[in-house]
Amino acid sequence: MILVTGGAGFIGSNFVLDWLAQSGEAIVNLDKLTYAGNLENLASLQDNPNHIFVQGDLGDSALVAQLLAQHRPRAVVNFAAESHVDRSIHGPEDFIQTNIVGTFRLLEAVRAYWLALPEADKTAFRFLHVSTDEVYGSLTKDDPPFAEDNRYEPNSPYSASKAASDHLVRAWHHTYGLPVVTTNCSNNYGPYHFPEKLIPLMIVNALAGKPLPVYGDGQQIRDWLYVKDHCSAIRRVLEAGTLGETYNIGGWNEKPNLEIVHTVCALLDELRPKADGSSYATQITYVTDRPGHDRRYAIDARKIERELGWKPAETFETGIRKTVEWYLANSDWVAHVQNGSYRDWVSKQYAGSVA
């Protein structure tokens, strides 16, 4: 049995679905169900006794202690976080509470549980912390990609809160011996991605005939990884990662945002052509840039390949086609996540330019 936090979010739910499809080992899934948590992602597990869902906060020490005592997991995988940079700019408080205070409380509850385990279980136990490449800051065009020994230089409230959580995890290993591993991953994309993030927002807006809001000049670069590749990397690190180490996970797919948007438009033109024959690209609109916008992220993923034999299975071309096809086939999911709070967010963030 393993315990995951945040398993109703984008990456967490993909991880839970893949885990249960590939192993007979049960999962306790602790998720607060914020606006980003969606049990519909896990609907196919409704009758699966190996999925135990618990609604709650990773910072609720009593609840976490009770779950650990009751289910006795051999590992904890911490996905739960506030994850959207733009939201962190509008309101950083939740990011501090969940990403920093929540991780601290989770570490303390896990440490107490781990200390009391029998010696063999104690040795085998793992705490895997899921983090981001954004902790390393921003690269120029010619900088080498982020390696694990890069300085931490977070630039947004979100990345600062994730950096703080990484430091706590590191300290709990160094000081208390908690058996931790940390992963720092690049931008994920794929099924169940909440449409506040670039790729799903572009798909959803394009189909709705709305503007496609590109921040600034659209030349910011991200390194895209298909979410199921991220999940397989986490499984591999959990299985064989060296304690106290960090592993960078990336897709070797550096692309400027504008190219991503044009790729999405071209796929939609092919798979769901507009009645008037025009391209979805005509909907592209340049909007005010994100404050403090990091220019470029890129991951050097050679360590995880060299030490653990992990490589992404998808190219960007195969992954983005699967993603667009998934959104076209799952219009009900999209309609259901676009509830009142989603509409409020869009009108606040884009000040009427997109709604």
Kindly report each contact of residues 53-58 with a partner whose C-beta sits within 8 Å and lies 24 or more positions away, as own/partner: 53/7, 53/8, 53/29, 54/28, 54/29, 54/30, 55/31, 56/30, 56/31, 56/32, 57/32, 57/98, 57/102, 58/5, 58/6, 58/30, 58/32, 58/98, 58/102, 58/103, 58/105, 58/106
Binding-site ranges for ligand NAD (CB under 6 A): 5-6, 8-12, 31-34, 36-37, 57-59, 79-83, 98, 102, 130, 132, 162, 185, 187-188, 194
Task: Choose among ligand DAU, ligand NAD, none what residue 297 binds, the Cβ cut-off being 5 to 8 Å by kind.
Answer: ligand DAU
Q: How far is the CB of 201 from ligand DAU (least distance, A)?
A: 5
The H or E element spanning position 248 is strand 246-249
Residue list 122-151, contact with ligand DAU (CB under 6 A): 132-134
Nearest residue to the partner ligand NAD, using Cβ: 9
Q: How far is the CB of 65 from ligand DAU (least distance, A)?
A: 28
Is residue 259 flagged as an active site residue?
Answer: no
Listed residue (159, 20, 143) closest to 86, CA to CA: 159
Among 13, 187, 246, 283, binds ligand DAU (CB under 6 A): 187
Residue 84 found at the interface with ligand DAU (CB under 6 A) = yes
Residue 165 found at the interface with ligand DAU (CB under 6 A) = no
**Within a 10 A sphere around the Cβ of 332, how many other Cβ atoms?**
9
* C-alpha to C-alpha distance for 77 and 278, rounded to whole angstroms: 46
Query: With CB under 6 A as the contact rule, which of the stretches 163-171, 211-219, 234-242, 273-281 interacts with ligand DAU?
Result: 211-219
Q: How far is the CB of 214 from ligand DAU (least distance, A)?
A: 5
- Point out the catalytic residue in the list 31, 82, 133, 229: 133
Residue 201 found at the interface with ligand DAU (CB under 6 A) = yes
Nearer to ligand DAU, 20 or 201 (CB): 201
* C-alpha to C-alpha distance for 179 and 158, rounded to whole angstroms: 25
Which three-class secondary structure state does DSSP give residue 307?
Answer: helix
Give me the phi and psi of 154, to 5 degrees please.
-65, 145
Nearer to ligand NAD, 187 or 283 (CB): 187
DSSP per position, 41-98: GGGGGTT-TTEEEEE--TT-HHHHHHHHHHH--SEEEE--S---HHHHHH--HHHIII
- Amino acid identity, position 38: N
* C-alpha to C-alpha distance for 11 and 318, rounded to whole angstroms: 19
Is residue 158 flagged as an active site residue?
Answer: yes
Nearer to ligand DAU, 67 or 324 (CB): 324
Nearest residue to the partner ligand DAU, using Cβ: 132
- Amino acid identity, position 237: V
Task: Build a one-symbol-per-residue string for 33-72: x at contacts with ligand DAU by CB under 6 A, - elsewhere.
Answer: ----------------------------------------
Nearer to ligand DAU, 51 or 222 (CB): 222
Residues in the chain: 355
Among 13, 34, 83, 248, binds ligand DAU (CB under 6 A): 83
Tell me the CA distances in angstroms from 343 to 34, 74, 173, 198, 291, one per residue in order. Answer: 15, 40, 42, 16, 22
* C-alpha to C-alpha distance for 255 and 78, rounded to whole angstroms: 28
Task: Choose among ligand DAU, ligand NAD, none what residue 198 binds, the Cβ cut-off being 5 to 8 Å by kind.
Answer: ligand DAU
- Point out the catalytic residue in the list 57, 134, 300, 314: 134
Nearer to ligand NAD, 58 or 212 (CB): 58
Nearer to ligand NAD, 286 or 326 (CB): 326
Question: What do you get for the CA distance between the two ends of the chain, in Å?
Answer: 44
Catalytic residue IDs: 133-134, 158
Binding stretches for ligand DAU (CB under 6 A): 83-85, 132-134, 186-187, 197-198, 201, 213-215, 220, 222, 257, 290, 297
